[in-house]
Structure 1
Amino acid sequence: MEIIHDVSSFHSTNRTIVTIGTFDGVHVGHQKILERLISDAKKQGKKSVLLTFFPHPRMVLQKDMKIELINTIDEKALLLQNMGLDYLIIHPFSKEFSRLTALDFVRDILVNQLKTSKLVIGYDHHFGKNREGNIDQLREYSPLYDFDIEEISAQDIDNVSISSTKIRKALHEGNLKTANRFLGYHFTINGIVVNGKQLGGKIGFPTANINVEEPYKLIPKTGVYVVRSLIQGVFVNGMMNIGYRPTVDGKHQTIEVHFFDFNQDLYDQKLTIELLYFLREEQKFDSVEDLIVQLKKDKESSFQFLENNL
């Protein structure tokens, strides 16, 4: 997959099959669109193109709101690459770009720049200035500019429509099972291992402290999770605490992972942590001794989950 960071840098003499959108989460519904896109492109001997935007439009148009995204831009790119996409175009979103009318967007971007022969989009898709563009306008423009349209209907799981918003809500509620089911993969946190206060090692549970660099990355509900990480080509299981360590600190949120049967130096390494299961809420204990007792229980519960589910 080739990544292009401005739509004006994309050049093709052949026509393409395109989809557009932010695709936050690259969830099961998104995957349906992308599978259709990639399949059609291969059948027709054309290239598959996803036009997405960064910063996320809401970061630009709603600056006063805290924006949380399921994926960082790098996480999203990796997910898309694994699906077999040919081109990922990450176009810089700006207020100026947001003022493009639906007609300008179709004519200048989709037709003239991307050479679109077919547009594959999800249901209820809107685009252009004030989100004025919709499926009806696309159907109006398609014969004029000689491109086809395929609209993918809403994808449901147990009659609940999948959306990035619902996945974010599930993660905030600690409902990891639903979030992972809607995503179609394990939610991940990527970050650099940094120095901590070494408290975990002193009580027999050394941890890797994860620093997430992207301020917009969604951090799930505080609590203890069963996790795993691919380290030097091998999956290493562990348990992770997201929270404020109320028993020993209580001031600053941290993300700490205790890996089972593992003692390598991980400082300054970037790790991808897969969240497998929400174990329990974060608690404040009366003493460090009580905390150690609970951590041992958490470890045993983690082993039971891993034995039964992996």
Structure 2
Amino acid sequence: MEVTHSIFDFNPSQKTYVTIGTFDGVHIGHQKIIKKLIEDAKLNNKKSVVLTFFPHPRMVLQQDVSIQLINTIKERTQQLENLGLDYLIIHPFDREFSRLTALDFVRDVLVNKLNIDKLIIGYDHHFGKNREGNIEQLTEYSYLYDFHVEEIPAQDIDHVSVSSTKIRKALLNGQLKTANKYLGYNFSLTGTVVTGEQLGGKIGFPTANIHIEEEYKLIPKTGAYVVKSNIDNQSVFGMMNIGVRPTVSGDNRTIEVHFFDFNKDIYSQQITIELLYFLREEQKFNSINELKEQLEKDERNAGEFLKSYANF
């Protein structure tokens, strides 16, 4: 997959099949659209193109600094590459771009820059200034500029209405199974292993503290999770705690992972943690011994889950 960071740097040598959207999460609804795009493009000897945007339009238009996204832009790029896409355009979204009318967008972007032959979109797609463009206008412009438009209806995407908003809510409520089902893959966190207070090691549960650079990345509900990572080309399982560590008077939220049967030095490495199962809510214990007993119980419960996990 070739990645371009502006529509103005994209110069296709042949006609393209295009879809457009922020695609936060690249969930099963998004995947339905993108897979069709790729299949149709290959069938007709065209190139498949996804036009997406960063920052998220809400960050720009509503100045919503509190928005939490399912994927970082790097994670979104990786998920799209996994689908077999030819080209990904990540265009910087700003106020000037948001002022393009529907006609300007079709003529100047889709036709003149993307060399479009076909546009495949999901149901209820809007575009252009104030989201004024819709399927009716797209169809009208397609006759004028000689390209095709195909809308994928809601019932073809999924019987259950899947949305990035529903997935975000599921993750924040600890409904990991639902979130992973809607995503079509395991939600993950990617960060750098940093030095912590090393309290876990003193009670037999050494942890890797994960620092996530992107402030907009959604962090799921506090609590304990069963997780999986790939370190040095080896699958490693463990349990992760997200929270403020109330038993040891913690103040700031931390992300700490205890890997099972693992003793490599991974400080300063960037690792990706897949969340497999929500074990329990975060709790405050009366003593460090009680905390240790609970961690031992968590480890047993994690082991029981992993016995039935297909890839363990």
> By the TM > 0.5 criterion, same fold?
yes
> CA offsets per residue over residues 114-140 of structure 1, 9 Å max, x none?
000000101111111011111111011
Tell me whether 1:169 sits opposite 2:132 in the alignment: no
Alignment of 1:78-93 (within 5 A): 78-93=78-93
Distance 1:157 1:51, change over 3 A: closer
Aligned residues of 1:156 and 1:162 also touching (Cα < 8 A): no
Question: What one-letter code is carried by the residue in structure 1 that aligns with 2:46?
Answer: K
Instruction: Point out where structure 1 has 5 or more consecutive residues left out of the alignment.
Output: none
- Residue 232 of structure 1: CA displacement? 0.9
- Rounded to whole Å, the distance in 1 between the matches of 2:282 and 2:13 is 56
- 3-state DSSP of counterpart to 1:161: coil
- Residue 156 of structure 1: CA displacement? 7.6
Question: What one-letter code is carried by the residue in structure 2 that aligns with 1:280?
Answer: R
Question: What one-letter code is carried by the residue in structure 2 that aligns with 1:194?
Answer: V
Per the normalisation by structure 1, the TM-score is 0.98
Equivalent pairs counted in the alignment come to 310
Aligned residues of 2:32 and 2:157 also touching (Cα < 8 A): no
- 3-state DSSP of counterpart to 1:220: coil
- 3-state DSSP of counterpart to 1:34: helix
Partner of 1:182: 182
- Residue 164 of structure 1: CA displacement? 0.4
Partner of 1:299: 299
Partner of 1:54: 54
Partner of 2:266: 266
Partner of 1:2: 2
Partner of 1:256: 256
- 3-state DSSP of counterpart to 1:109: helix
- Residue 250 of structure 1: CA displacement? 2.6
> Identity rate of aligned residues, in percent?
68
The runs of 4+ residues in structure 1 deviating greater than 2 Å are 155-160
- Rounded to whole Å, the distance in 1 between the matches of 2:202 and 2:11 is 58
Question: What one-letter code is carried by the residue in structure 1 that aligns with 2:128?
Answer: G
Tell me whether 1:230 sits opposite 2:204 in the alignment: no
- Residue 234 of structure 1: CA displacement? 1.1
Instruction: Point out where structure 2 has 5 or more consecutive residues left out of the alignment.
Output: none
Question: What one-letter code is carried by the residue in structure 1 that aligns with 2:186?
Answer: H
Partner of 1:240: 240
Tell me whether 1:276 sits opposite 2:270 in the alignment: no
Aligned residues of 2:58 and 2:64 also touching (Cα < 8 A): no
Alignment of 1:77-226 (within 5 A): 77-154=77-154, 159-226=159-226
- Rounded to whole Å, the distance in 2 between the matches of 1:43 and 1:84 is 14
Tell me whether 1:16 sits opposite 2:16 in the alignment: yes
Partner of 2:31: 31
